[in-house]
Amino acid sequence: MNTPHFLVRSFGILARTFLAPALIVLTIAPLAQANTLGTLTVPSDSRDTNLDQNIHATEVTANRTITFRSGDTLTSILTREGIAADQRDAALATLGELYDVAQINPGDQVELSMRASLDGSERTRLVALQLRPAYKGNIAIVSGSDGAFHRQGALARHDVKAASIGITTREGHISSNLPHDLAAAKVPQSVADDVVAAFAFDPETPANPSKGSKFTVVYETTQTANKYGLSHTDVMRFAELKVNGATHRIYRYETKDGKVAFMEETGEGVEPFVLESPVHNARITSSFGWRIHPVLKVRKFHNGIDFAAAKGTPIYAAGDGVVTSIGWHGNYGRFIKIVHNDRVTTTYGHMSAYARGLHRGSRVTKGQVIAYIGSSGLSTGNHLYFEVLVDNKHVDPAQREVMLSLNLDGSSLVRFRTYVARLGEATSQ
Specify the CATH number for the domain of residue 411.
3.10.450.350
**For residue 88, what is the enclosing H or E element?**
helix 85-96
Same domain as 259, residue 301: no
pTM of model > 0.75? no
Q: Is the pLDDT of residue 230 over 50?
A: yes
Q: What average pLDDT score do residues 326-347 get?
A: 95
CA distances to 82, 252, 273, 393, 429 from 345, rounded to whole Å, are 33, 25, 11, 10, 45
Domain count, the chain: 3
Residues 6+ positions from 52 with CB-CB distance below 8 Å: none
Q: What percent of the chain has pLDDT over 90?
A: 32
In a domain, 13, yes or no: no
Residues 308 and 419 in one domain: no
Query: 268 and 416: one domain?
Result: yes
Highest averaged pLDDT of the listed ranges 17-31, 78-92, 96-110, 336-350 = 336-350
Span 109-161, pLDDT tens digits:
888 888 764 444 456 788 888 888 765 567 888 877 667 787 764 333 333 33
Q: Which of 361, 374, 362 is nearest to 279 (CA)?
A: 374
In this structure, of 9-18, 180-189, 295-304, 338-347, the range with the lowest mean pLDDT score is 9-18
Do residues 136 and 28 share a domain?
yes
Residue from 18, 1, 12 nearest 230 by CA: 18
Please state the rounded mean pLDDT for residues 248-271: 86
Cα atoms found within 13 Å of the Cα of residue 307, Cβ hemisphere only: 26
The average confidence (pLDDT) of the chain is 76
What is the model's pLDDT at position 202?
81
- Whether residues 212 and 174 share a domain: the answer is yes
Q: Choose between 46 and 199: higher pLDDT.
A: 199
Q: Which domain holds residue 196?
A: 164-272+406-428
Please give the full DSSP string across 282-345, using - where no structure is assigned.
-EEEE-SEEEE-TTT-SEEEE-SEEEE--TT-EEE-SSSEEEEEEEE-GGG-EEEEEE-SSSEE
* 163-177 pLDDT, tens digit each: 445 788 999 999 989
Look at residue 9 and tell me whether its pLDDT is greater than 50: no
Give yes or no for residue 295 having a pLDDT over 70: no
- For residue 219, tell me if it sits in a domain: yes
| 36/140 same-domain check | yes
Predicted local distance difference test score (pLDDT) of residue 146: 66
Within this chain, do residues 317 and 342 fall inside the same structural domain, yes or no?
yes
pLDDT of residue 48: 36
Section 181-203 average pLDDT: 90
Most confident of 233-237, 255-259, 363-367: 363-367
When mean pLDDT is compared over 53-67, 96-110, 310-324, the highest value belongs to 310-324
**Inside any domain, residue 235:** yes
325 against 198, higher pLDDT? 325
Q: Tell me, yes or no, whether 185 and 40 share the same domain.
A: no
DSSP 8-state code for residue 27: P
pLDDT digits (tens, 9 = 90+) for 404-424: 888 888 888 888 888 888 777
Most confident of 17-21, 55-59, 190-194, 323-327: 323-327
- Burial of 266 (C-beta count, 10 Å sphere; 0-12/13-18/19+): exposed
Of the ranges 34-48, 106-120, 139-153, 389-403, which one carries the lowest mean pLDDT score?
A: 34-48
Tell me what pLDDT residue 412 has.
85
Distance CA 338, CA 321 (A): 6
Residue 313 lies in a domain: yes
| Same domain? 187 vs 124 | no
Q: Residue 173: what residue type? A: H
> Is residue 208's pLDDT more than 80?
yes
The answer to whether the beta carbons of residues 91 and 149 sit under 8 Å apart is yes
Q: What's residue 148's pLDDT?
A: 78
CATH code of the domain containing 363: 2.70.70.10
pLDDT at 402 over 70: yes
User: Given a cut of 50, is residue 222 above it in pLDDT?
Assistant: yes
Q: Determine contact, residues 276/400, Cβ cutoff 8 Å.
A: yes
pLDDT at position 360 is 97
CA 111, CA 350: separation in Å to the nearest integer? 41
Q: Which of 109, 134, 160 is the last residue of a domain?
A: 160
d(C-alpha 244, C-alpha 214), whole Å: 10
Same domain, 318 and 170: no
232-264 b/e with 16+ CB inside 10 Å = b? bbbebbbbbbbbeeeebbbbbbebbeeeebbbe
The answer to whether the CB of 165 falls within 8 A of the CB of 221 is yes
CA 131 to CA 80: how far, in whole Å?
17
Lowest mean per-residue pLDDT among 84-88, 96-100, 157-161: 157-161
Residue 33 sits in the same domain as residue 155: yes
- Based on the domain organization, do 33 and 153 belong to the same domain? yes
Q: Considering the domain boundaries, does residue 16 fall inside one? A: no
How far apart CA 86 and CA 213 sit, in angstroms, is 60
Task: Say if 186 falls within a structural domain.
Answer: yes
Domain boundary among 134, 160, 186: 160
pLDDT at 168: 87
| Cβ–Cβ under 8 Å, residues 88 and 79 | yes
Half-sphere CA count of 168, side-chain side, radius 13 A: 23
What local confidence, expressed as pLDDT, does residue 108 receive?
85
Domain end marker among 160, 194, 214:
160
Task: Supply the pLDDT for residue 150.
Answer: 78
Going by C-alpha positions, the residue among 275, 251, 274 that lies closest to residue 408 is: 251
Residue 334 lies in a domain: yes
Is residue 278 domain-resident?
no
Q: How far is CA 110 from the centre of its chain?
A: 15
